[in-house]
């Protein structure tokens, strides 16, 4: 007979309920206990009976992930990591690209039931607050900085302090005319607002006055936007000696403009981005950046959804806000 | 009363059936007729009643797209284009990343019905031939070079001749030691086999002997693989004067190795990739490449699926093979 929950519990020296909690992926199990249970699972070769579990639970084993744009390497990477984290639970992930359209985000949230989808991990761009509430009984986890105190569990980094860290790195190098690329006016551009706030805070901290001429708008967060904004900065009366770009794509576009005009990076202009996408690890010069802990974001999103989908105490608690770490990654574009 | 099919037909001077064919997106309508119908639709402000149509047809308005890897910018771009093409038909696209695992590809094909998904656009990596046959009544369109004469409609470029075009560009520049990066032995690596065949054919055409030392294997088609392969080529007794990389990611990795070692591109080594991803348009130097007509691939895939989903004559015909164009894009990495 194949080993069961009872055998795992006996070997790990815990209750059957604890083994069940680990198998179902509830995050409130202590790390040491979880490790012991996992060791016992591996030693015994225990395989949870997923088909039976799904039948019992009425779940389909399929979740949805909605992101604004898969052509953004950051979202593609997060999607890949979520697919991997979900696979460890034998879940299939269906991904919806919303392009940030309010109507499509709304349809998505409303239409899950029909497609036998158990739950949703959602990085909204257009909707906020109560608009995001899914139909009763459809678990949802929100990603990104747009929604605090929303209707569902939420995972994000501290965007403002991450932007301040990027800018502080530039001031610490003695740069004094530090530009920002990616400023957006519209109220829904929460990411851009927070990164601008962090930039300004770090400048103030270093005793540098904010200069509106150095705060460059960008329609989107793509390479072409960064290239165009950098060209405008170089054409201005007093070009910058450093640039904080609100994401890596903007920074890679800015790099292209700088290098094609013969401006030395970082000699004349230091450049830092945000996201730590793979492109910036292979560009010449390689790109300094802020790295959100993307694997942790993906794992937490899947774990939180698993809790909501389970029958444990966490299935129906109040929405939780989880903050994920980020770190400064110094590469050739600021420290050549 | 809002305008109906009849009003559009009268204005365009065609039958109601023709208007219906255009609205349902069948590809066999002559372009001029289609344009006339679309002009009438716009002039009258005709809106097809989708909800009613879906109810009548038993369709959910949701299709699935399965790709091996969203972190590959080429697949992310194709996915974005398919989402856009589908949106013009008010379809939602749910995307599944298979990581090229046979088991997941099999589950996917088998599981569509359960999730009320009307049809599938599928770029398989592990499955081939009859293994790909979906359950009866689930329309499917296949993408990519792995499947010819398979069980479903199929859209692809001519991979071998595209690889020959890339290599021929290098021989035409007078390069004589032309390496290939991306060689893979395993039988399922059809893309790599075809690109190698095209490379060898173009060398032979130019009177150049194939040199096994210049045919560099790569475990995957990622930047790190390209960087490592290029390092091995540079460390060899007789380094190449040009490299054809089997995709742009490999080429961007190779570029990084060349530039970080002070090798001039294209002066000492010319580099060409394949895919025309956005990264290569903003790298320094910008990357020469082969551009498949990706918007056309996406549009055809959606159009073919629409035909299969419709009630027109094409809904049940034999599988079709559609060839899409590619073109050579010359940028700084070969023509500095």
Give yes or no: residues A120 and A12 share one domain.
no
Nearest to B76 among A76, A107, A111 (CB): A76
Query: How buried is A53 (Cβ within 10 angstroms: 0-12 exposed, 13-18 middle, 19+ buried)?
Result: middle
- B279 with A279: Cβ contact below 8 A: yes
| Residues on chain A touching B253 (C-beta within 8 angstroms) | 282
Straight-line distance from the first to the last Cα atom of chain A, in angstroms, rounded to the nearest whole number: 62
**Separation in Å, CA of A112 to nearest CA in chain B:** 10
Give yes or no: residues A120 and A11 share one domain.
no
Give yes or no: residues A30 and A99 share one domain.
no
On whether residue B309 sits in a domain, the answer given is no
Q: Would you say the ipTM is above 0.90?
A: no
- Top residue of A60, A94, A333 to mutate, by most chain B CBs within 10 Å, is A94
| Residues on chain B touching A92 (C-beta within 8 angstroms) | 96, 104, 107-108, 111
Indicate the helix (H) or strand (E) that contains B252: helix B248-260
What are residue A164's phi and psi, to 5 degrees? -65, -40
Assess whether pLDDT exceeds 90 at residue A285. Answer: yes
Assess whether pLDDT exceeds 70 at residue A275. Answer: yes
**Across A144-148, A157-161, A300-304, B43-47, least confident range:** A144-148
**Separation in Å, CA of B331 to nearest CA in chain A:** 13
| Residues on chain B touching A60 (C-beta within 8 angstroms) | 114-115
On whether residue B321 sits in a domain, the answer given is no
Q: 3-class DSSP state for residue A37?
A: helix
Q: Are strands A178-183 and A326-329 parallel, antiparallel or unpaired?
A: unpaired
Query: How buried is B49 (Cβ within 10 angstroms: 0-12 exposed, 13-18 middle, 19+ buried)?
Result: exposed
Give yes or no: residues A276 and A193 share one domain.
yes
Give yes or no: residues A285 and A174 share one domain.
yes
Give yes or no: residues A41 and A164 share one domain.
no
Assess whether pLDDT exceeds 80 at residue A19. Answer: yes
How many domains does chain A contain in total?
3
- Beta-carbon count within 10 A of B3 CB: 16
Q: What is the pLDDT of residue B50?
A: 46
- B71 with A73: Cβ contact below 8 A: yes
Indicate the helix (H) or strand (E) that contains B63: strand B62-67
- B80 with A69: Cβ contact below 8 A: yes
- A76 with B80: Cβ contact below 8 A: no
pLDDT tens digits, A209-234: 999 999 999 999 999 999 999 999 99
What are residue A280's phi and psi, to 5 degrees? -75, -15
Q: What is the pLDDT of residue B174?
A: 96
Query: Which residue, B155, B251, B226, B159, is CA-closest to B197?
Result: B159
**Separation in Å, CA of B136 to nearest CA in chain A:** 20
Give yes or no: residues A124 and A198 share one domain.
no
Q: What is the pLDDT of residue B29?
A: 77
Q: Report whether A12 contacts A39 (CB < 8 A).
A: yes
**Separation in Å, CA of A297 to nearest CA in chain B:** 17
**Across A14-18, A222-226, A298-302, B266-270, least confident range:** A14-18
**Separation in Å, CA of A120 to nearest CA in chain B:** 12
- A70 with B70: Cβ contact below 8 A: yes
Nearest to B79 among A97, A108, A227 (CB): A97
On whether residue B60 sits in a domain, the answer given is no
On whether residue B322 sits in a domain, the answer given is no
Q: Report whether A284 contacts B284 (CB < 8 A).
A: yes
| Distance from C-alpha of B73 to C-alpha of A8, rounded to nearest angstrom | 43
- B80 with A92: Cβ contact below 8 A: no
Q: Is the model more confident about A250 or about B137? A: A250
Nearest to B73 among A73, A95, A117 (CB): A73
Give yes or no: residues A173 and A282 share one domain.
yes
Give yes or no: residues A165 and A250 share one domain.
yes
| Residues on chain A touching B92 (C-beta within 8 angstroms) | 96, 104, 107-108, 111
| Residues on chain A touching B94 (C-beta within 8 angstroms) | 64, 94-96, 115
- Top residue of A95, A106, A116 to mutate, by most chain B CBs within 10 Å, is A95
Q: What is the pLDDT of residue A317?
A: 79
| Residues on chain B touching A71 (C-beta within 8 angstroms) | 73, 76-77, 79-80, 278
Segment A15-40 shows an average pLDDT of 78
How would residue A50 be classed by pLDDT, with cut points 50, 70 and 90? very low
Domain containing B34 — which CATH number? 1.10.260.40
Assess whether pLDDT exceeds 90 at residue A144. Answer: no
On whether residue B17 sits in a domain, the answer given is yes
Segment A287-310 shows an average pLDDT of 94
| Residues on chain A touching B220 (C-beta within 8 angstroms) | none
In terms of CA atoms, which chain B residue is nearest residue A222? B278
Q: What is the pLDDT of residue A186?
A: 86
Assess whether pLDDT exceeds 60 at residue A167. Answer: yes
Domain containing B171 — which CATH number? 3.40.50.2300
Q: Is the model more confident about B269 or about A84? A: B269
**Separation in Å, CA of B253 to nearest CA in chain A:** 6
On whether residue B58 sits in a domain, the answer given is no
| Residues on chain B touching A284 (C-beta within 8 angstroms) | 255-256, 259-260, 283-284
Assess whether pLDDT exceeds 80 at residue A115. Answer: no
- DSSP assigned state of A150: -
B201: domain range?
159-292+328-335
| Residues on chain B touching A80 (C-beta within 8 angstroms) | 69-71, 97
Q: What is the pLDDT of residue A320?
A: 87
Stretches where chain B sits below pLDDT 70 are 1-2, 24-27, 47-58, 109-116, 126-137, 146-149, 311-314, 336
- B71 with A107: Cβ contact below 8 A: no
- B62 with A107: Cβ contact below 8 A: no
Give yes or no: residues A201 and A284 share one domain.
yes
On whether residue B13 sits in a domain, the answer given is yes
Q: What is the pLDDT of residue A311?
A: 61
Which token pair is B197?
Answer: 């065949």
Strand partners, B96: B66
Give yes or no: residues A260 and A288 share one domain.
yes
Q: What is the pLDDT of residue B58?
A: 66
Cis peptide before A225 (omega within 30 of 0): no
Give yes or no: residues A118 and A198 share one domain.
no
- B223 with A278: Cβ contact below 8 A: yes
How would residue A56 be classed by pLDDT, with cut points 50, 70 and 90? low
On whether residue B111 sits in a domain, the answer given is no
**Separation in Å, CA of A96 to nearest CA in chain B:** 5
| Residues on chain A touching B70 (C-beta within 8 angstroms) | 70, 76, 79-80, 83, 95
How would residue A51 be classed by pLDDT, with cut points 50, 70 and 90? very low
- B116 with A115: Cβ contact below 8 A: yes
Q: What is the pLDDT of residue B293?
A: 96
| Residues on chain A touching B62 (C-beta within 8 angstroms) | 115
Query: How buried is A128 (Cβ within 10 angstroms: 0-12 exposed, 13-18 middle, 19+ buried)?
Result: middle
- B71 with A70: Cβ contact below 8 A: no
């Amino acid at each position: 007979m194949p080993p069961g929950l009872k055998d795992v519990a006996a070997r790990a020296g815990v209750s059957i309920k604890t083994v069940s909690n680990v198998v179902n992926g509830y995050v409130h199990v202590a790390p040491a206990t979880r490790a012991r249970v996992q060791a016992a699972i591996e030693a015994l070769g225990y395989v949870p009976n997923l088909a039976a579990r799904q039948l019992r639970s009425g779940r389909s084993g399929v979740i949805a992930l909605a992101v604004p744009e898969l052509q953004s390497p950051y979202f593609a990477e997060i999607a890949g990591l979520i697919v991997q984290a979900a696979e460890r639970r034998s879940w299939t992930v269906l991904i919806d690209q919303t392009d940030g359209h309010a109507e499509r985000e709304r349809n998505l949230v409303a239409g899950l039931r029909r497609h036998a989808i158990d739950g949703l991990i959602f990085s909204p761009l257009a909707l906020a607050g109560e608009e995001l509430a899914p139909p009763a009984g459809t678990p949802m986890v929100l990603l990104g900085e747009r929604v605090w105190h929303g209707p569902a569990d939420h995972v994000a980094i501290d965007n403002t302090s991450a932007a301040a860290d990027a800018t502080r790195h530039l001031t610490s190098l003695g740069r004094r005319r530090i530009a920002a690329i990616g400023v957006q006016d519209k109220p829904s551009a929460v990411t851009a607002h927070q990164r601008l706030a962090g930039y300004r805070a770090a400048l103030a901290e270093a005793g540098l006055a904010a200069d509106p001429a150095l705060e460059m708008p960008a329609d989107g967060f793509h390479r072409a936007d960064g290239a165009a904004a950098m060209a405008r900065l170089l054409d201005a009366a007093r070009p910058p000696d450093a640039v904080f770009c609100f994401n890596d794509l903007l920074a890679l576009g800015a790099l292209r403009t700088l290098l094609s005009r013969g401006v030395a990076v970082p000699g004349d202009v230091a450049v830092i981005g945000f996201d730590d996408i793979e492109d910036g690890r292979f560009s010449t010069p390689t790109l300094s950046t802020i790295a959100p802990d993307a694997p942790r974001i993906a794992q937490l999103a899947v774990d939180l959804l698993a809790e909501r989908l389970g029958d444990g105490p966490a299935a129906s608690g109040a929405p939780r806000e989880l903050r994920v770490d980020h770190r400064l990654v110094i590469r050739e574009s600021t420290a050549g």
